[in-house]
C-alpha cells in the first residue's frame, strides 16, 4: 500500500487506520505502508471541497502511474489532502478546515472519505482565504508555534488536541476504505 505523502501525521493516520480495519480487508495480509511524494496538482491550501477532492484523486492517480512505471505491486493507492471549504450562511462567511482521502485499487475502484470539519476563527480564515497564506504558515503565526503541521496540526490547536491532524486524517481514511472492507454493504463484491 502506498500513500502520497511523507508527512508524519498522514502516514501515522494510515497506519492506525490499517490497525483497525486491515484484517477486514484481508485477514491473511501483512500491509506495509510505503511513503511517496507526489503532487496534488492543487494549491498548498485548497480553498474548496472541490479542490480538495481533485487534489486527493490526483495524488492517488499519480501513485498508480508511478507503480506501473516502476513495476511496483502495491494493492492500494492513498491520496490525502487538507484544506478549507468556504461557505455562506446568509451574510456570514464560514470557513471549515477539512481533510479528505481517496483510495483506489488502481484497476477501476476508488472511493472518497472526509474527516468532518472544524470552523476556523475569523482571523485565521482571513489569513488563509483573503491573504493567501498557506495554512501551514498561518497556523504557526496564529498559534505562536513552529512546525505545527507536522505535529498536532491546526486541528490540534483548534480543539486543544482533542482531535489532532492525525486523528482527522484517520477518520477520512477509514471512510474512504469502507467500501473496500465493507464491500458487501456497498454492493462492491
pTM, whole model, 2 decimals?
0.95
Q: 3-class SS at 137?
A: helix
- Provide the domain limits for residue 100: 2-186
pLDDT of 177 over the 90 cut: yes
pLDDT at residue 76 in the model: 97
Nearest Cα neighbor of 151 from 136, 141, 129, 130 is 136
DSSP string, 118-134: EEPPHHHHIIIIIS---
Answer whether 28's CB lies under 8 Å from 67's CB. Answer: no
Provide the pLDDT confidence category of residue 187 given band limits of 50, 70 and 90.
confident
User: Residue 156's pLDDT band (boundaries 50, 70, 90)?
Assistant: very high
Name the pLDDT band for 82 (thresholds 50, 70, 90).
very high
Instruction: Tell me the CATH number at 173.
Output: 3.90.950.10
The whole-number pLDDT of residue 30 equals 87
Report residue 171's pLDDT band, with 50, 70 and 90 as the boundaries.
Answer: very high
pLDDT given for residue 189 in this prediction: 60
| pLDDT tens digits for range 92-109 | 999 999 999 999 999 999
Q: How many domains does the chain have?
A: 1
Mean per-residue pLDDT for 144-151? 94
User: For the chain, how far is it from start to end, CA to CA, in angstroms?
Assistant: 20
Whether the pLDDT of residue 137 is over 80: the answer is yes
Instruction: Give the residue-averaged pLDDT of 54-69.
Output: 97
Amino acid at each position: 500500500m502506498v500513500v502520497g505523502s511523507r508527512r508524519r501525521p498522514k502516514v501515522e493516520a494510515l497506519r492506525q487506520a490499517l490497525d483497525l480495519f486491515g484484517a477486514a480487508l484481508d485477514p491473511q495480509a501483512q500491509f506495509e505502508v510505503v511513503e511517496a511524494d507526489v503532487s496534488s496538482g492543487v494549491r498548498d491550501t485548497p480553498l474548496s471541497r472541490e479542490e480538495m477532492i481533485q487534489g486527493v484523486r490526483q495524488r492517488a492517480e499519480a501513485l498508480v502511474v508511478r507503480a506501473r512505471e516502476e513495476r511496483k505491486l502495491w494493492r492500494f493507492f492513498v491520496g490525502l489532502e487538507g484544506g478549507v471549504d468556504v461557505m455562506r450562511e446568509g451574510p456570514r462567511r464560514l470557513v471549515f478546515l477539512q481533510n479528505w482521502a481517496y483510495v483506489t485499487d488502481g484497476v477501476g475502484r476508488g472511493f472518497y472519505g472526509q474527516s468532518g470539519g472544524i470552523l476556523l476563527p475569523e482571523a485565521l480564515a482571513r489569513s488563509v482565504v483573503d491573504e493567501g497564506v498557506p495554512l501551514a504558515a498561518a497556523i504557526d503565526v496564529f498559534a505562536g508555534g513552529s512546525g505545527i503541521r507536522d505535529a498536532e496540526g491546526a486541528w490540534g490547536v483548534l480543539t486543544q488536541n482533542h482531535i489532532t491532524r492525525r486523528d482527522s486524517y484517520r477518520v477520512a481514511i477509514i471512510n474512504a476504505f469502507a467500501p473496500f472492507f465493507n464491500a458487501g454493504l456497498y454492493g462492491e463484491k
